[in-house]
Amino acid sequence: MTLLIILALVFGGVALMVFFGEKHAKPLDEKTQNKYSKIIIVLVFASLILGIFNSM
Non-local CB neighbours of 36 within 8 Å, separated by 6+ positions: 28
Of 29, 19, 21, 25, which Cα lies nearest the Cα of 37?
A: 29
Cα separation, 14 vs 7, in Å, equals: 11
Instruction: Give the chain's mean pLDDT.
Output: 94
pLDDT of residue 27: 85
Q: Is the pTM of this model over 0.85?
A: no
Each residue's pLDDT tens digit, 16-40: 999 999 888 888 899 999 999 999 9
